[in-house]
Amino acid sequence: MTTNSATTTPAHATAADLLALSPVIPVVVVDDASHAVPLAQALLRGGVRVIELTLRTPAALAAIERVAAEVPGIVIGAGTVTTPEHAEQAAKAGAAFLVTPGSTDRVLDAAEDTGLPFLPGVATVSEAMRLVERGLTSLKFFPAEAAGGVDYLKSIGGPLPGLRFCPTGGITPESAPRYLALPNVGCVGGSWLAPKDALASGDFARIEDLARAAAAL
């Protein structure tokens, strides 16, 4: 595998930059790496120029590599980074950013070692404060709905005013605007942009329509 991250996002990009790429970051599980390029192209046509491919299937790294090499207009990230090995493998595959569901020291160290921007996952105030001590202020809030949702993020905005979040987990097109209205939310993560049935049937026109609606949020 070759590293292609330079083709997708500038080397100086920061985690804060990731939160400004799109109102919604598509969170995608790919079972077939051949779906990755047409999926990314459909998202781009719909106005969404970022995608988080989760490392939950054997096809994920190959999918990241293909998108990084063949769709330079989209910023390709690796999600569900739960081990140091995941971070290293994703960077080698060409990921331009990393997303973790939680924040252990080993995973954070490995993510930092790649030199890529990353969104570390938190679900509690204490976790968020620990990340602030490491100089990290752009975070993933996961699992958003199960961990308290809009009300939770609203309540911690006062004591933790310097943080901005990408809430992910259980968010829908209907609930996304309520998150995006919060001053400490830069974007949301959404799995609805790439439904499994649409990927399986190759219905990329449907994905393009979903992306267009998400880009307008």
CATH number at residue 192: 3.20.20.70
From 52, 85, 88, 208, the catalytic residue: 52
170 within some domain:
yes
Asked if residue 115 is part of any domain, the answer here is: yes
Q: With respect to residue 60, please indicate whether it lies within any of the assigned structural domains.
A: yes
**Is residue 52 flagged as an active site residue?**
yes
Q: Which two tokens stand for residue 201?
A: 């049937």
pTM: 0.94
- 9 lies in some domain: no
For 72, the 3-state DSSP assignment is: coil
Catalytic, 65? Answer no
Q: Structural domain tally of the chain? A: 1
Range of the domain at 95: 15-216
Is 10 inside a domain boundary?
no
pLDDT of amino acid 172 = 98
Place of tokens 């799109």: 22
Q: Catalytic: which of 65, 127, 140, 208?
A: 140
189 domain residue, yes or no: yes
47, part of any domain: yes
**Separation of alpha carbons 177 and 187, rounded Å:** 10
In a domain, residue 6? The reply is: no
Give the residues of the chain that fall short of pLDDT 50.
1-8
Q: Which of 43, 79, 66 is closest to 193 using CA atoms? A: 43
